[in-house]
């Protein structure tokens, strides 16, 4: 029985129609795809100018024949009551409503019309099928957060039941908890693992310490899909070794769709069927493929709520081999608010020097996890969880490397904790700048 499709239909999401629509879009030739995108861009802007008072006020100077006249919207623009932003003809009972994670620091409630949300699920099912995963029949081992209050908790458990998945808590990643995970894998025919990168990395480290390979314990396992947090090369290699299956990287946003998904050729393929992804400079000009800039996305099908030239808050690069039908995301650098601002005025991507520190701090397996906080322009705190304190030699090496990469005169503080606190959703944010919360 196709419980997953049934649950979508029972909730009013027309998955069959959505699947037919995606199939039709995928059959459009590369030569005709430019025309398809051009038409959909104009259609969605025209729709919201006519039916959405919020967007009409926001984009009052738009020329439908000039895409550059369409303004870029940010999360801050959308931080107002949802009812102010809904298109005419859509009530809260007739749409899909959710809240962004807040990882950007600018959370807000958003909406999708039910056909648009069905298209999202159709894309997800299509991408997972590249690795022989069927949401109706494949059993998922899920490493995600879960609400602690009763109503939210049981709602997620019911969704898990209909979605043929078993959820592991990401709030307790102790060896005792991971031992229980291992026992569950030994007696359950899981087809794939799916969840937050950092928690799955911790499970891989646990397996490494025990000298175990997961698919020898759970031979039905086919693949592992990670999302929501950065995946570093050495972590991916560790997971591939300890799980014995391909590790697939997903980049998405709940308010939009899967934005990019690693295909079987190991390319981060952008979702061109339902989204238009642009890379813009500081002046909102489109950059050539191969150049780094802001990731700006248009949802081509969401009629309930406009996401048109929406700055998602990330910095990335589209590959030079990209075309409109098959764009390839070459690199995701990080979030625009994850930049380190230094006393000299220099700025650096926080995740980059997080990675430099990572190569030193985790080399002996003592440190399980760590995060970096920027407290002042010259002060960084490295918070880590470990069996024993980091040696003086290692702390000095880290300080030296941080200064080599950033600049001299920095104050590096180390703080050891029993475990690292995650967000309410269960995500782990590797780098956080606290400068905007202070007077520095």
**Any idea what the Cα angle at residue 362 is, between residues 357 and 363, rounded to 5°?**
105
Q: Are 406 and 341 in contact (CB under 8 A)?
A: no
Rounded Cα distance between 57 and 85, Å, is: 11
pLDDT of residue 323: 93
- The reported pLDDT for the residue numbered 95 is 95
Confidence of residue 440 (pLDDT cuts 50, 70, 90): very low
**Burial class of residue 228, CB neighbours in 10 A (0-12, 13-18, 19+):** buried
| Integer Cα distance of 404 and 384 in angstroms | 22
Q: How far apart are CA 351 and CA 103, in angstroms?
A: 14
Supply the pTM of this predicted model.
0.84
Flag the least confident range among 101-110, 142-151, 174-183: 101-110
Instruction: Give dist(CA 435, CA 407) in Å, integer.
Output: 18
pLDDT at 1: 55
Question: d(Cα 328, Cα 266) in Å, to the nearest integer?
Answer: 10
Least confident span in 18-32, 117-131, 402-416 = 402-416
Q: How long, in residues, is the chain?
A: 440
**φ, ψ for residue 366, nearest 5 deg:** -70, -45
Which DSSP category does 285 fall into?
P
* d(C-alpha 135, C-alpha 336), whole Å: 34
In this structure, are residues 289 and 316 in contact, taking their beta carbons and an 8 Å threshold?
A: no
- Segment 177-198 shows an average pLDDT of 95
Region at 313 (left for phi over 0; alpha for psi -120 to 50; beta for the rest): left
CB atoms within 10 A of CB 94: 13
Q: How much is the pLDDT for 190?
A: 97
**What pLDDT score does 231 carry?**
87
Those residues with Cβ within 8 angstroms of residue 405's Cβ, 6 or more apart along the chain or in another chain? 348, 352, 353, 356
How far apart, in whole angstroms, are the C-alpha atoms of residue 352 and residue 413? 18
In this predicted model, what pLDDT tens digit does every residue of 375-415 receive, in sequence order? 999 999 999 998 889 999 999 998 888 888 788 999 999 99
Name the nearest CA neighbour of 430 among 377, 385, 376, 369.
369
pLDDT at res. 217: 97
**Which pLDDT score is estimated for 438?**
46
Which among 327, 352, 323 is positioned nearest to 270, based on CA atoms?
327
Q: Provide, rounded to the nearest whole percent, the portion of the chain with pLDDT above 70.
A: 95
Residue with token string 């990731």: 295
Which pLDDT score is estimated for 402? 84
Of 117, 149, 97, 155, the C-alpha closest to 21 is 117
Confidence of residue 30 (pLDDT cuts 50, 70, 90): very high
Residue 29 — φ and ψ, nearest 5°? -70, 160
CA distance 316 to 333: 5
| Domains recognised in the chain with CATH numbers | 3-335 (3.40.50.12780), 339-437 (3.30.70.2210)
Structure-block tokens of residue 2: 């196709």
pLDDT digits (tens, 9 = 90+) for 130-159: 999 999 999 999 998 877 677 878 888 888
d(CA 312, CA 309): 9
């Amino acid at each position: 029985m196709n419980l997953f499709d049934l649950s979508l239909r029972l909730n009013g999401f027309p998955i069959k129609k959505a699947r037919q629509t995606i199939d039709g879009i995928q059959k459009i030739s590369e030569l005709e795809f430019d025309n398809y995108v051009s038409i959909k861009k104009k259609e969605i802007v025209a729709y919201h100018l006519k039916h959405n008072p919020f967007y009409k006020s926001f984009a009052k100077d738009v020329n439908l024949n000039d895409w550059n006249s369409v303004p870029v919207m940010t999360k801050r623009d959308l931080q107002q009551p949802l009812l102010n932003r809904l298109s005419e003809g859509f009530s809260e009972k007739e749409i899909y409503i959710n809240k962004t994670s807040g990882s950007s620091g600018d959370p807000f409630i958003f909406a999708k019309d039910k056909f648009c949300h069905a298209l999202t699920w159709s894309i997800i099912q299509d991408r997972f099928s590249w690795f022989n995963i069927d949401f109706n029949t494949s059993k998922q081992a899920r490493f995600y957060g879960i609400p602690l209050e009763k109503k939210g908790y049981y709602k997620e458990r019911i969704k898990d039941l209909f979605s043929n998945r078993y959820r592991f808590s990401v709030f307790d990643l102790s060896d005792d908890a991971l031992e229980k995970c291992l026992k569950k894998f030994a007696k359950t025919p899981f087809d794939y693992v799916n969840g937050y990168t950092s928690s799955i990395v911790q499970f891989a480290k646990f397996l490494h310490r025990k000298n175990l390979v997961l698919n020898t314990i759970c031979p039905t396992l086919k693949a592992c899909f990670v999302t929501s947090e950065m995946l570093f090369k050495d972590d991916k290699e560790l997971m591939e070794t300890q799980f014995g299956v391909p590790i697939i990287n997903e980049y998405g946003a709940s308010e939009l769709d899967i934005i990019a998904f690693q295909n079987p050729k190991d390319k981060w393929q952008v979702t061109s069927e339902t989204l238009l992804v642009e890379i813009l400079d500081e002046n909102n000009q489109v950059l050539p493929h191969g150049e780094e800039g802001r990731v700006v996305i248009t949802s081509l099908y969401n009629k309930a709520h406009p996401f048109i030239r929406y700055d998602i808050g990330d910095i990335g690069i589209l590959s030079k081999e990209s075309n409109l039908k098959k764009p390839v995301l070459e690199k995701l650098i990080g979030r625009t608010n994850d930049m380190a601002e230094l006393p000299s005025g220099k700025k650096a991507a926080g995740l980059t020097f997080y990675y430099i520190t990572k190569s030193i701090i985790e080399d002996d397996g003592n440190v399980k996890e760590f995060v970096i906080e920027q407290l002042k322009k010259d002060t960084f705190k490295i918070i880590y969880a470990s069996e024993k304190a980091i040696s003086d030699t290692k702390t000095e090496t880290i300080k030296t490397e941080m200064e080599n990469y950033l600049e001299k005169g920095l104050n590096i503080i180390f703080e050891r904790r029993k475990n690292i606190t995650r967000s309410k959703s269960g995500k782990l944010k590797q780098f956080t700048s606290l400068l905007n919360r202070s007077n520095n």
